[in-house]
Every structure is written in C-alpha cells, then in structure tokens.
Amino acid sequence: MSWRDGFLLALRSVVRRPARTALTVLAVALGSGLLVALAAIAQVADTRVISELGKGGPATAIKVAAAAPDPAAADSDNPRPGPARNLDDAALRSIRRAPYVASAIPVTTQQVIAVPPPRGSAITGFAGDDPDRGQPRPFNAAIVGVDLSQVHDLPVTLLAGRLPAAGSLTEIAVGQDYLDRLRLDVKHPEVVLATEVELGTPQVQPAGAIRVRARWTRAVITGVVAQQVGDGTFLASQQLVAASRAWQLGGVDGSSLGLPLPSTQYAGLVVVADSLDDVHTVRAEITTLGYSTSAPEQLIASVQRYLHVVDIVLGSIGLIALTIAALGIANALLAAVRERRREIGVLKAIGARDRDVLRWFLAEALFSGVTGGVLGTAAGLGAVAVTGTVVNDYLVQQGLAGVDLGGVPLVTAAIGVGGSALLALLAAAWPALRAARLPAREAVGAL
C-alpha cells in the first residue's frame, strides 16, 4: 500500500467517527494555536522591549560622542565623556571600516532661536505665552540633523504625523519638549502638526553696530517624535542643518555672547553593529579610535536574560497544551485500534504488511495534526492580531509608539503547522505500531 493509498484510507476512516475526529483536531488546534500565539506575542514583546531599550532605534545602535573616552568608565553603558574632540569625516571613515559595523550615521546639531505660532500659524488650544504682546516667546533650541533616509537605524520613535522628507529644507519634526514648552497636552501631539515654526540661526559679525544677524527659516511641523539621536528640540534633514551651520560659520566666534562656533564637524554618530553580540567589540574598537561611546549594552543583556525566562515560561505553557493535544491523538488512535481489530485483521488476511497498517494509522494521525495545525495556527495568528490591536491602542493612548504586528514571521506559522504534524506522528507512533503488530489471527478474531 502506497502512502497515497494510506492517506485515502485514512481520510475515509476519520469520517467514521466525526465527533471524535473533530475533538481531536480541536485539541491539536488549541495546542498549536496557543503555542503560535504565545510565540508570536513573546517575539513581538521581545522586539518591543529591546526596541524600547534602543529608544526606537535598533538595539545594536551605539552612540558616539564628539569627545575622547573616559578610561575609567569605558565599560559602562553611559560613560561620562572625556574632553571634547573633533569628530570629522576621517573619524567617520575609520569607524565605518571597523569590523562588525553595519552602518555609521553622522549627526549634526545647530543652535537656533525658535519662534512658535501664532507667528507661524495657529495651534488649537494655544493662545500665546507672551503676556505683553499675546505672542509666543521665542526660545533657544537646537536642531538635530540626520540623514532621514536612514532613520530606521536611528533611535527615533514617531509619535504622530510623519517624519520630514529626506533632504527637505522646509519640513521639521519636533520633540515632546516642544509640546511642554507650549503647555500643550502631550497625549494629543497631533495639534501641532501642519503648523509652522520659525527658526533663526545666529551669525556673529566681526564688527559694526549690529553684532548678531539671523537667517530665518520657516518650517512646517510634519511630525512629533521621541528621539535619542542628539540633544535638540527639532529633528530635521542633514541639509537643513548644514545650511544653517554654513550661515553661522560665515560669521566669527561669539563665545562672549554665548554663541560659539561649532568645535566639531559632527555632534555625534550613531553606529549600528552587525548584531547584539558585536556591540561590545564595536564599542571597544571605537574607544581605541579615541571616541567616547554609549549603548544600553549591559541593560539589554540583563533584559534579554529576563525575556529568555519569559520565553521559556510561555513556550512551556504552549508545549503543555501541545502535549495534551498529543495525548488526545494517541488516545483517539488507541480507541480506533481497539475498534478496528477485526478490520486490521481482515486487511492483514488479504495481504497487508505491518508497514501498510502503520501507514494507515500514521496517515490518520497526520490528518489530525495538519488540519489541527493549520486551524490552530490561523487562530493563533488571529489572536495575535487582535491582541496587537488592543496593545497598539493602549500604547498610542499612552503617547508611545505602537507595535508592528505585520512582522509575525512566516517561519512561526510554518513551525505551528509542521510542529503539529510532527507531534501527531510522534503521538501516533505507539498506537500505530500496536495496530501494525496485531497478529493477523488475533485481529480477525474467531474464524
């Protein structure tokens, strides 16, 4: 008897006891569904927690400061930087060439004077904070400039709206401190979207009556972000910051006025290691090159250990469910063997080998395993989607970035189905062997 014939016979056999078959399939579906759901949720939760530790960027991101390392604190996650040091293109190239470095993204900053609406445009709920003129007060701030096409590698979490277009000179994103400064509710960051803010870059003149001139840029706020790229209220494209910086460098040093010229080409770098395991090596290499680094390396390692424990607990719960399902399959097959002793005997009497009977029962178990696995995996992924939506809503309500549930890997689904099928075969092994080894005469009964 071929496997094909075995499957056809098994398919006919399972309909003989539809209620038993349905319950067995349901048990497998529950087991695999639970395992898939727990695995997927654990995976998303892990990603979320690690991502949170990376403040929205990859957990493998390392921040490099424009400062020499402090040898006494080189191994800590957040060492105190040593003396300032120019971080220039040469240093950037050296770091990019270092082993295990996936990417290195320069960060620039520029001091500006920011003038929020209504001078730019009106914000709902904001009446201005200048008691004399009913206008908002200008304030000193910094713009952080990065290559926005690489924002996925940066510790930036979008809370509302969208990021400025890469290379844009007129779009900008603001941090939550901008909302605080305007005394707006941080739970409703959307109110500042599409409003304008004016940004003035100072240029200190070498002489004359007017000591400081400003270059004004009017930018539209496209999004609200939480970012750990650099110290600054605004996040903009590298080009916008470069233009402002060029203007300031056109003047002279104004340290006496509190407007010094920038002492470093880049305010910092965000270096992404190939993997979490490589973070320490990359940090050590950058330290050797003479720059201070920080990364939540040890924190992530500790959290990963805890998450691993959570994974084990969740996995165990799923495995217990699958084991119960496996026992269900074994029990159902044992009952089937008992019921079909005569049928097995007849099959052997007409020439079936042990392996033919084995195939028949294994195929029957495989049917339950695969059907239950497919149903369970689908239900499990459905449960993940529902849970994710609920969690997403909660996170957004709390002013946090939502979780991406589109990334439940196909391999999880494949393991759900394949694992159920394998488990069914394992569970069926003993009953099927028992059926296969039934002596023909005993199985036929009294001749």
Partner 1 sequence: MRASRAMWSMGGMHGAPAFTPPAAAEGVAITARGLAHGYGRGARAVPVLRGLDLDIRAGAHVALQGPSGAGKSTLLALLGGLERPRAGELNVGGVDLTSLRGSRLAAYRREVVGFVFQHFGLVDVLTARENVMLAMSLTGVTPGQRRRRADEVLAAVGLAHRAGHRPGQLSGGEQQRVAIARALSNRPRLLLADEPTGNLDDESTDRVLALLREVVVEHGCTLVVVTHNEHVASQAGMRLHLRDGLVRR
- Binding positions for partner 1, rule: CB under 8 A: 1-2, 5, 9, 12-13, 15-16, 342-343, 346-354, 356, 439-441, 444, 446-447
Taking the complex as a whole, how short is the minimal distance between the CB of residue 23 and partner 1, in angstroms?
19
CB of 433 to partner 1, least distance (A): 15
Minimum CB separation of residue 344 from partner 1 in Å reads 11
Count of residues making up the chain:
447
User: Which of residues 15 and 210 has its CB atom nearest to partner 1 in the complex?
Assistant: 15
What one-character DSSP code corresponds to residue 110? E
β-strands 212-227, 171-175 pairing? parallel
CB of 68 or CB of 440, closer to partner 1:
440
Beta strands 212-227 and 234-237, pairing class: unpaired
With contact defined as beta carbons under 8 Å apart, do 344 and 435 qualify?
yes
Judged by CB, which is closer to partner 1: 210, or 447? 447
Residue 427 C-beta: closest distance to partner 1, Å: 23
Minimum gap (Å) between residue 353 Cβ and partner 1: 5
Complex with partner 1: residue 183 or 437, whichever CB lies closer: 437
Say how far apart CA 248 and CA 225 lie, in whole Å: 26
For residue 425, the minimal CB distance to partner 1 (Å) is 22
Pair of tokens at residue 317: 């719960």
**How does DSSP assign 215-264, residue by residue?**
EEEEEEEEEEEEE-SSS-SEEEEHHHHHHHHHHHHTS--BGGGTBPPPSS
Q: How far is the CB of 323 from partner 1 (least distance, A)?
A: 30
Nearest to partner 1 of 415, 444 (CB atom): 444
Q: Which is nearest to 82 in space by CA: 292, 241, 234?
A: 292
The nearest distance, CB 397 to partner 1, in angstroms, is 56
Q: Which is nearer to partner 1, 274 or 343 (CB)?
A: 343
Task: Output 15 or 209, the one with its CB closest to partner 1.
Answer: 15
Cβ atoms within 10 A of the Cβ of 358, count?
A: 21
Closest CA to 33 of 340, 321, 391, 298: 321
Residue 404: both structure tokens together: 């991406």
By beta-carbon proximity to partner 1, the closer residue of 46 and 343 is 343
Q: Which is nearer to partner 1, 258 or 351 (CB)?
A: 351
Q: How far apart are CA 395 and CA 389, in angstroms?
A: 10
How many other C-beta atoms are found inside a 10 Å radius of the C-beta of residue 39?
A: 21
Where would I find the H helices in 113-186? Answer: 176-181
Question: How far apart are CB 352 and partner 1 at their closest, in Å?
Answer: 5
Give one DSSP letter per residue of 31-75, joined into a string: HHHHHHHHHHHHHHHHHHHHHHHTTTS-TTEEEEESB---GGGTT
Task: Give the C-alpha separation, 396 to 24, whole Å.
Answer: 41
Minimum CB–partner distance for residue 438 and partner 1 (Å): 11
Q: For residue 332, give the nearest of 75, 46, 10, 76 by alpha carbon.
A: 10
Q: Which is nearer to partner 1, 16 or 183 (CB)?
A: 16
Task: Give the chain's radius of gyration (CA, Å).
Answer: 32
Q: Which is nearer to partner 1, 153 or 364 (CB)?
A: 364
**Token pair of 237, please?**
């494209």
Give the shortest CB-429-to-partner 1 separation in angstroms.
20
Q: Are 392 and 402 in contact (CB under 8 A)?
A: yes
Say which amino acid occupies 369: G
